[in-house]
Chain A
Amino acid sequence: MNLLRYGHDAWGARVLNGVSWDLLPVAFWAGVAVIVIHLAYRALRRGSNRHED
């Protein structure tokens, strides 16, 4: 997986073009991971609260 996008100038030298779009799924799945982790934490907390009751 690349982190950056590169192009070339008129002399053929490599120049930075931006962030690699390989990172787009990483941003998406990082968001999904936060959601899943929070859902798991929420379920565990609710379970322990019910147990205390």
Chain B
Amino acid sequence: MAADNQKLQRHAGADRLFHWLMAATMLVLMATSLLPVLGLRFAWYGIHWVAGLVLTLLILLHIVRALFWQRPGTMLIRAADFSRRGAGKYTLAQKLMHLAWTVALLVAIVTGLLMLSKAGVPFLQRDPYVHSLSGWGLLTLLHDLAALLSVFLILVHVYFGILPEKRAYLRAMLTGWITRTELKPEHDLQRVERGD
């Protein structure tokens, strides 16, 4: 049996880099979309669509990596996740947070990409008539809802990330490692070792 203080790799360098690049991109996207709403006037649009494309690329890389280099099943919600100390690699709360971010970001990316044809970007012929006015309104509505959900999720995600009892997860996202002792309160170590 391995020692309790043995360091286990929780996140590979590529995944940590993805997480923090995505966080930085999200902050740029939120600032460039919501600061103008709050009354701060600046040329936000160019920065916003470039950051949106960066986020799209990051998410595509994440999906490819998750499907072919990682175990996507670790993010599926299973019955064992509801039992005390039954979590696999991720706890139920972490899986729900991932699911909520998946919904918010996929809606934001799909609607954002569709709206590029209205806005005029260097690589795309501008065509505001590709959708009706109500169609553009619906796309904007979904994009706005994704932004509002992101505001909520950023607050909750950062709060749980900095809680003292969850600090090991934050350290794992910075340095990559966690110990068995830190996993024991919420995780089934056999599931963790199986990569479940």
List chain B residues, Cβ under 8 A from A16. 134, 137-138, 140-141
User: How far apart sit A20 and B43, CA to CA, in the bound complex (Å)?
Assistant: 22
CB A41 to nearest CB in B, in angstroms, measures 12
List chain B residues, Cβ under 8 A from A28. 151-152, 155
A44 within 8 A of B: no
A12 within 8 A of B: no
User: How far apart sit A23 and B149, CA to CA, in the bound complex (Å)?
Assistant: 11
Main secondary structure, interface of A, reads helix
List chain A residues, Cβ under 8 A from B99. none
Other than the given A15-B134, A35-B156, 17 more pairs (CB < 8 A) read: A9-B133, A16-B141, A17-B140, A18-B140, A18-B141, A18-B143, A18-B144, A19-B140, A24-B37, A24-B148, A24-B151, A27-B148, A28-B155, A30-B152, A31-B152, A34-B155, A34-B159
Chain A residues in contact with chain B, CB under 8 A? 4, 9, 15-19, 21, 23-24, 26-28, 30-32, 34-35, 38
Chain B residues in contact with chain A, CB under 8 A? 34, 37-38, 133-134, 137-138, 140-141, 143-145, 148-149, 151-156, 159
